[in-house]
Homo-oligomer: A and B are copies of this chain.
Amino acid sequence: MSFIKPKFRHPRLPTNALGFTVADYDGAISTLCAGCGHDSISAAIRNACFKSALEPHRIAKVSGIGCSSKMPTYFLGRSHGFNSVHGRMPSVATGASLANRNLTYIGVSGDGDTASIGMGQFIHLIRRNVNMTYIVANNGCYGLTKGQDSATADLGSVSKGGAANPFDGIDLASLAVLQGASFVARSFSGDKDQLEPLIRAAMAHDGFAFIDVVSPCVTFNNHAGSTRSYGSTRDHLDAMPVDFVPVREEIRAEYAEGTSHAVTLHDGSVIHLLKADAGYAADDRTGALTAIRSAQQDRRILTGLLFLDPNSRDLNDTLELASRPLNELGKDELCPGSKMLDSINEGLR
């Protein structure tokens, strides 16, 4: 059940470039558990859209099924949303993007939704470089079905049931880098200073932008044995903070270990990277994989913008679609008319 928030707005709330207040980006009140990491992500998305001054109704939200996939109800109430079926959001998003290339697409999924049932679609979504921001609220478990291990659960982590997970966890960020994603990042739901700019950068990116957000499930995965709880995540956090620079600001170019690195996005906006552990450039896949892995081997989770291809070409461009959205075409553009049909008939006589 969703509760609609009171419509009252304080008259002096700060507004963004379009004159919207942050409340214009609110959704319904969350029905997730108090303290769920997913709610922090919803807030970060809302804030990112507000700060980037996106028109709420030009954003479309898509998700699968799970606690995480419910999130889109809880932000951007003025945007259309589609809570589809479990694990198959990538295909729904692909179709939506083809139909209208001019909206901003935010996909929200869970680790069960993406790494188990949705694995095939996820990989093919990456391969097609669909222009969207894809956020996995990664809690290492199936929240909505009451806490089973997901495929991202770490080896040896202990679920509510008490059994230690005997399988290696799938690292979605590495997978995305390997499979050719053009934007790959990781963050932590509790770290909004890092997460918000990453989401803004992802939405500005022209192509598939993946953000793996470690998002603890307070109900089923927040106890000593699990390696994905708030406590342990904070312990293992290897922060790589990212700061978003809006379009038209100065671009900084120097990049050395321990300093920041400016990467120009396709739309001209720039991201400053602060390289914590260094060792790879953010546009080098092998480097990214190695950095992620080496942090992993130290039992640390590398966060930040892990990989970026500034020359990304999205699916609409790859398919050479016209710039006018397909869903705007009318009979005149679509229907070749009776003369053409006559000539086709002619060829078949």
Identify which of A16-24, A163-171, A227-235 touches chain B. A163-171
| C-alpha gap A127/B170 in the complex (Å) | 8
Segment of A210-218, A243-251, A286-294 engaged in the interface with chain B: A286-294
Partner of A120 from the list B117, B166, B286, B293 (CB cut-off 8 Å) is: B117
Contact of A178 with B175 in the complex, beta carbons under 8 Å:
yes
**Copies in the assembly, this chain:** 2
The listed residue (B120, B285, B293) touching A285 by CB distance below 8 A is: B293
How long is the Cα–Cα vector from A128 to B124 in the complex, in angstroms?
22
**Is A318 part of the binding interface, using a Cβ–Cβ cutoff of 8 Å?**
yes
State the Cβ distance, A302 to closest chain B Cβ, in Å.
14
Interface size class of A (residues with CB under 8 A): 20 to 34
Q: How far is the CA of A271 from the CA of B151 in the complex (A)?
A: 32
Considering the chains assembled together, what is the distance between the CA atoms of A285 and B293 in angstroms? 10
CA distance A340 to B151 in the complex (A): 35
On whether the beta carbons of A167 and B128 are closer than 8 Å, the reply is yes
15 A-B residue pairs with CB within 8 Å: A117-B120, A120-B120, A120-B121, A123-B123, A123-B170, A127-B151, A127-B168, A127-B170, A166-B318, A167-B318, A174-B178, A178-B178, A286-B289, A289-B289, A290-B290
Contact surface of A with B, Cβ cutoff 8 Å: 116-121, 123-124, 127-128, 151, 166-168, 170, 174-175, 178-180, 285-286, 289-290, 293, 318-319
Q: A118-B120, A119-B119, A123-B123 are in contact. List 18 more A-B contacts (CB 8 A).
A: A116-B120, A116-B124, A117-B120, A119-B120, A119-B123, A119-B124, A120-B120, A123-B170, A124-B151, A127-B168, A128-B167, A166-B319, A167-B318, A170-B179, A174-B178, A175-B178, A175-B179, A289-B289
